[in-house]
Amino acid sequence: MKEAIEILKKNDLLRVIDEELDIYLEIPHVAYVEVKKEDSKALLFTNVVDRKNDKKFDVPVLMNVFCNEKAVKLFIGDGDKIGAEIESLLKMKPPTSFSEKLSTFGKLFALKNTIPKKSKGKGECQQVIKLGDEAKLSDLPVLTTWEQDGGPFITMGQVYTTSLNGEMKNLGMYRLQVYDDNTLGMHWQIHKDSNHFFHEYKKAGKKMPVSIGIGGDPMYIWCGQAPLPIGIFELMLYGFVKNKNAQLVKSITNDIYVPRDNDYIIEGFVDPSQMRIEGPFGDHTGYYTLEEEYPFMEVTAITSKQNPTYLATVVGKPPLEDKYMGHATERIFLPLLKTTAPDLIDYYMPENGVFHNLIIAKIKTLYPGHAQQMMHAFWGVGQMSFVKHAIFVGEDAPELTDHDALVRHILNRLNIEEMMISKGVVDALDHSSPKFALGGKLGLDCTGDEIPMQGIKVLSDEELLSRMQSITSEVKQLKQYYTHTKNPVTVVTVDKKRSQKHLFEALKPLYDHIKVLVLVDDANQNDVNNPYMLIWRVVNNIDSNRDIYIEGHTIGVDGTNKSELDNFLRRWPDDVDCTPAVLQDLRERKIIEVSDELVKQYQL
């Protein structure tokens, strides 16, 4: 962390904040606003307090370490270059000449660095050792990020676990709720490796050892969220990218090995026979995830460096730090994804699609149904199986990050007959599916030629809104997008009083003027003039099995919040929003400089 801080300083990517700030809401709010700026920086808080418990910490807090693309390249490297190295290994063939043999030997020899190296003795992370009752989680400046959070959460914890037989190791990055000084919630979801290990211990009736690292090389954090196949230890990726072995030491009170340069290590055991309510937590979807039962760890030791730095992140509505980490992941894992989907050219997961909610893929189409085949492939591959909405375009499509040109390309090829609606696993954080972790999948095949114009008459926004309001007073705002494409998009905000299937039915007389009709609530800060946040809202809120309506050549999309009006039996969570009084106080104290426009733009 000390080296990382110096690298950030040297590259003018660090802002040091010496004003007194609270671990409850204040510090996370500052970081949340900062990372949304175009010139965002990492933040080092040096005067950290817990006013509720009248406590002052002598430990600095570092946030937004992956504050932009430049920081990612400094700590991880060039994603395209690393991806190319992986691709060259995957395509390696037996050498036929002496020079090829040398090249092959060099590549294979470098792979020796992928294996983490276990050291004897103690590491820097164990310069200070606290055991038993002395190991108090309250000694760490753990942040409470959002007003409705169930308590303080460790947000950048590296969770190290091992299979029952010790043969498989895993590094995951999960949120960790602090219940008290010695109890820490384990939010590993049903699809995660740690959860698979947990069930092995549960079946055997044994307690499960867990060690949690905080800080150290920022690369550990990225490795912890990397979508590697089950059974591959994420620190092998660290060795491959850094071209040096991860250096590990044994935990003090269990047999888990952890990086020697972590700033903190929290050790303990999970009793698989016991569970505890965890949450709520304002998560990276931009919504609160609700209370659920999860395992918890009893802390047996907390070790640290002599002068540690506490590392944290903030999650909520996009854009956030995970935007930059996620883009690096895209580039690096493209070659591995191609092994399952060999005709894939490129893919893109926009941050306002919250990654798993929307993917756009460019493919080489070779035969009818090729895109549909790729949809099934994507939905069956590791973490890609959580993707809810997949749009496929052909080789002739614009660059996937050229948003305006790409949207025009897609809308000119959007064909109802080439839509596929299916069902499968969704992320455990998804709130829109009628059942936990099981929901709709929507695939759009836009790989073909432009579709013919289907003869709708486009009206002005004012006239179309007036006609809608003459039918129902539920419609409040309206804006049309891409009216010169084959599939104009009409966005409408509604004062929802009933299931929107009745509204779609009521608006049928106007379908001669509408191709794609999207409904959102006239509340929750929704603004028909803010497409970035509208995409975020809609892909979060829809389940394709329930919320897509097709009538003739018109597609209806119900992006409203669901309730008993929709026969939705789960509890719908609130948006993750800043506490207005805290935001205002930080502005008045000039801790943050944020315009009203930015507050509105990202619905803070």
Residue position matching structure tokens 């944020």: 594
* Predicted local distance difference test score (pLDDT) of residue 599: 96
* Predicted local distance difference test score (pLDDT) of residue 194: 82
* Predicted local distance difference test score (pLDDT) of residue 105: 45
* Predicted local distance difference test score (pLDDT) of residue 378: 86
Q: Residue 75 is encoded by which pair of tokens?
A: 């700590």
* Predicted local distance difference test score (pLDDT) of residue 595: 94
Q: What CA–CA distances, in Å, run from 279 to 262, 290, 314, 446, 596?
A: 27, 6, 16, 40, 31
> Is residue 117 within a helix (H) or strand (E), and if so which, with residue range?
strand 117-118
**Distance (Å, rounded) from C-alpha 603 to C-alpha 527?**
9
Cβ-Cβ contacts under 8 Å for 277 (sequence gap 6 or more): 150, 291, 292, 293
**Distance (Å, rounded) from C-alpha 442 to C-alpha 544?**
6
DSSP state of 311: E
* Predicted local distance difference test score (pLDDT) of residue 352: 96
Helix (H, G, I), strand (E, B) or coil at 588: helix
Question: Residue 77 region, left (φ>0) first, then alpha (ψ -120 to 50), else beta?
Answer: left
Mean pLDDT rounded to a whole number for the chain: 93
**Distance (Å, rounded) from C-alpha 343 to C-alpha 365?**
7
DSSP state of 435: B
**Distance (Å, rounded) from C-alpha 328 to C-alpha 83?**
10
Helix (H, G, I), strand (E, B) or coil at 19: coil
* Predicted local distance difference test score (pLDDT) of residue 99: 58
372, 391 contact by CB (below 8 A): no
Which residues are registered as beta bridge partners of 304?
Answer: 128, 264
Q: What is the pLDDT of residues 205-217, one digit of tens each?
A: 999 999 999 999 9
Residue position matching structure tokens 């980490």: 325
The series of mean pLDDT values per 10 residues for the chain, 604 residues long, is: 96 98 98 96 98 97 96 92 78 58 51 88 97 97 98 97 94 96 90 84 97 97 87 90 94 98 98 96 96 96 98 97 91 87 93 94 95 90 88 97 97 96 93 94 97 89 98 98 97 97 97 97 96 98 98 96 96 97 97 95 97
Vertex 459, ends 456 and 460: CA angle to 5°? 150
Q: Residue 448 is encoded by which pair of tokens?
A: 């073909």
* Predicted local distance difference test score (pLDDT) of residue 189: 73
The one-letter amino acid at 570: R
* Predicted local distance difference test score (pLDDT) of residue 109: 46
Helix (H, G, I), strand (E, B) or coil at 129: strand
**Distance (Å, rounded) from C-alpha 186 to C-alpha 193?**
13
Which residues are registered as beta bridge partners of 477?
Answer: 493
DSSP β-ladder status, 419-425 and 42-45:
unpaired
**Distance (Å, rounded) from C-alpha 552 to C-alpha 266?**
59
The overall pTM is greater than 0.85:
yes
Terminal Cα distance for the chain, rounded: 30
> Is residue 197 within a helix (H) or strand (E), and if so which, with residue range?
helix 193-204
The one-letter amino acid at 401: T
Domains of the chain listed by start with CATH number? 81-312 (2.30.110.10), 341-446 (3.40.1670.10), 461-566 (3.40.1670.10)
352, 535 contact by CB (below 8 A): yes
Comparing CA positions, the residue from 219, 216, 249 lying closest to residue 236 is 219
**Distance (Å, rounded) from C-alpha 374 to C-alpha 310?**
43
